[in-house]
Amino acid sequence: MQITKNGKELPKQVINGYSTNIDGANYSLSIYRSPKKMKGNANLMIGDDLWVKFASTGRVRKLSSSAKKNSSGGSDFSYVDMGSGGEGMAFNYDAKLVGEVKVDSVENYEIELIPTQNNESGYEKLLIYITKNEYLYTQIKYFKDNSNIKTLTFSDYRDVEGVKYPFKMSMKSHIKESVTELLTTKIEFNSEKVKESIFNTNYLKKIK
Amino acid sequence: MKRIFILFTIIQISRLIYADTDFGGSAEISALGLIPQNEYSSPTNPDNQIMQLGDVNINSSMLFRLDAWDDLTNFESMFKISYYPIGSLLYNPPAPGAELVKEMIDKVGENIISLDIYRLFIDFSLFENLTVSIGRKPYFIGYGYGWNPSDNLNPLKDPANPDAELKGLDSLSLLWSYENLLNLEVITALNKEIFKMGVNYSDLAFAANLSVILDGIELVTTSYLNLNDERSSKVNSLGFAFKKDLFGMGIYGELILLDGSRNQFILNSTPAYKEDLTTSFLVGAEYLFESDTNVVLEYYFNGEGYSRDERSSYEEFLELTYQTYGYPSVLHRDSNYTKQYLLLNINQSLYDYNTTLGLAAIYSIDSTNLMLAPTIELEISENMNIVITYSGQLDFVEDDLTEFELSPMKQMYNLSFKYSF
């Protein structure tokens, strides 16, 4: 993950991410590998609950739900953006097809998502752009106080085990001079490394 | 017992030869400056004869971590090497035995390099849900930032010294977990340091922690059983803790019931433990604002704190022991001295400037003593940061029975350079 603030690149953050869905609930685990000061820090999200492991002491703390709206590791992604949280988009938002627009000369569906009562993301609404031909995410615009506060752009789609996946996701803030690029170097689907036992606060304590 | 422990540990370490390993740590050099007041004289340091405090102290230390793990086993170690110019401090103790200390310092030198083993333990999974741990392992119990009254296993938490929680306990423990719902941990801990003293069965203590994680709430019960008949600072106890999410806020509480006090009170000019049932509790709330400002507020009722009369007896005792033995016998701990405290902790991350601002304030409701500690942390590079801290004790009434009056170091600043590798 590369964060650029006021035109200056901050130290690159290397993260191992694991995610799965068990009984309809999303589970995600993010482990920081670098820079040195963040190495071994980890975030575990199970449904709407978020735990953080602090490598400096080894302590695991459950964060209050107010924390999920905030920046993850100083980036333009919030914890909710990183872990998707809850039972997924369909549970957290009511969707409505708004129209069809061109994004970078490609025909897209424009879909409006309004948060349901269960949603703790803090957003007012989302506008999602999905290509008409392959149903690939192109952009997500995040709105708060009637303003588009940030935009997530998906690019560099590659075929992995028959699944098209965006190897570059770029979140640009519209309220400050900041961009965060999430660059995927390797992805495995149905990986043997993703076991149910790793989405557990006891496993979180053992993370190095 | 010691040989069996060492052999067992070596066997477990040898299993990790081909495991994933990780080595890292940090080097820290700091300058602690005191702001002179009363020439550092206080009831705990009369005329600065005991601590022999100077205005500026340079400290340096290195922290090393070596970890290794595979699917079934986990080894973790953490060591700290510190360099103390402590010899000069010990040269002039007016206590009996000063000559002996002086002879010893003449042999080893004025500067002392110490190696602290903070952690050295192995976890191994017997079954998928059952893990055994042996060695010096940390146990984090409770939700409070300043105090953890539900935790009777670890030494008393000190909000002024967060590094203290890095050190683990010599223990053997068994953890059974049921999914991410239920954890039961049974711990056998040694009350003495194993490599120094060896142990007797009476030195063992048993603790059990049961935690339940439900949707939006965590509940914990703790219990502690001390086998030693001899009255000491370790007593049997039962504790409870919870954390609940409410309107985006983390609300938490802790309670402990103790079979007597763990600290001593002055009764008829003599230190003695209280044998009555003693209760302490804490309630707290934390909230992270969208501006990245994290606010923590806690109220702590310390059942083992001194009332005003008890503080009066204690300070007479300090003076008496100083006159009798040449040094005051200090029994109290700052931030645990009186019965009621408030804590306010504010942290503000300024990501655009690679800076974090912090403010910790601890106010004693009983003595009106206020401890303030603002902090600035600057990230200079990927590996290097600088921390500047001021720490000051203030009191708002003319009263000799406060932490302010007891402390020889009323105001200080610290400049710390830390390099992570």
Q: Which residues of B touch A70 (CB under 8 A)?
A: 288, 290, 292
How confident is the model over A118-170, as pLDDT tens digits?
Answer: 666 778 899 999 999 999 999 999 999 889 999 999 999 999 988 899 999 99
Q: Which site among A12, A66, A203 would you substitute to test the B interface, given the most B Cβ atoms closer than 10 Å to its Cβ?
A: A66
Task: State the distance between the two ends of chain A, measured CA to CA, in whole angstroms.
Answer: 19
Least confident span in A63-67, A145-149, B57-61, B149-153: A63-67
Q: Which residues of B touch A123 (CB under 8 A)?
A: none
3 state DSSP class of B273: strand
Q: Name the pairing type of β-strands A60-62 and A49-53.
A: antiparallel
Least confident span in A118-127, A180-189, B294-303, B365-374: A118-127
Peptide bond into A35 cis (omega under 30): yes
**B328 to chain A nearest CA, in Å?**
34
3 state DSSP class of B367: coil
Residue in B with minimal Cα distance to A196: B179
Find the Cα–Cα–Cα–Cα dihedral B271, B273, B276, B279, rounded to 10°: 110
User: How far are the Cα atoms of A47, B252, B421 from residue B241, in angstroms, in the given order?
Assistant: 23, 7, 37
B314 and B332 Cβ atoms separated by less than 8 Å: yes
The region, left, alpha or beta by phi > 0 then psi within -120 to 50, assigned to residue A73 is left
Residue A126: its H or E element: strand A125-131
pLDDT at B91: 47
Question: Phi and psi (nearest 5°) for B202?
Answer: -70, -10
Q: Is the ipTM of this structure higher than 0.90?
A: no
Q: Which residues of B touch A195 (CB under 8 A)?
A: none
Rounded CA-CA distance B193/B164 in Å is: 16
Residues of A with CB under 8 A from a CB of B: 5-6, 10-11, 35-37, 39, 46-49, 57-67, 69-71, 74, 120, 122, 176, 178, 197, 199-202, 206, 208
B187 and B139 Cβ atoms separated by less than 8 Å: yes
Minimum-distance CB partner of B290 among A61, A69, A120: A69
Amino acid residing at A107: E
Rounded CA-CA distance A178/B135 in Å is: 46
Please report which residue ranges of chain A form alpha helices under DSSP H: 79-83, 89-92, 201-206
Q: Which site among B22, B74, B245, B286 would you substitute to test the A interface, given the most A Cβ atoms closer than 10 Å to its Cβ?
A: B245
Rounded CA-CA distance B29/B38 in Å is: 28
Regarding predicted confidence, which is higher, B334 or A85? B334
How confident is the model over B179-194, as pLDDT tens digits?
Answer: 878 999 999 988 665 5
Amino acid residing at A97: L
Q: Which residues of B touch A63 (CB under 8 A)?
A: 250, 288
Look-up of token digits 């204690």: B314
Q: pLDDT category, B93, cuts 50, 70, 90?
A: very low
A62 and B67 within 8 Å at the Cβ level: the answer is: no
- Among B313, B315, B283, smallest CA distance to B301 is for B283
Average per-residue pLDDT for chain B: 86
Rounded CA-CA distance A186/A56 in Å is: 28
Query: How many residues in chain B?
Result: 421
How confident is the model over B219-264, as pLDDT tens digits?
Answer: 999 999 987 777 777 899 999 999 998 888 999 999 999 999 999 9
How many Cβ atoms from other residues are within 10 Å of residue B69's Cβ? Answer: 19
Burial of B360 (0-12, 13-18, 19+ CB in 10 A): buried
Return all residues near B12 (Cβ < 8 A) that are at least 6 apart: B73, B75, B122, B124, B134
Look-up of token digits 């409701």: B365
**B22 to chain A nearest CA, in Å?**
8
Q: Is the dihedral of CA B316, B322, B324, B327 positive or negative?
A: positive
Residue in B with minimal Cα distance to A179: B352
Minimum-distance CB partner of B243 among A48, A62, A199: A62
The region, left, alpha or beta by phi > 0 then psi within -120 to 50, assigned to residue B312 is alpha
Query: How many residues in chain A?
Result: 208
pTM equals: 0.86
- For the cut 60, the answer to whether the pLDDT of residue B52 exceeds it is yes
Q: Which site among A37, A43, A63, A123 would you substitute to test the B interface, given the most B Cβ atoms closer than 10 Å to its Cβ?
A: A37
Minimum-distance CB partner of B248 among A39, A60, A65: A65
B77 and B104 Cβ atoms separated by less than 8 Å: no
B138 and A58 within 8 Å at the Cβ level: the answer is: yes
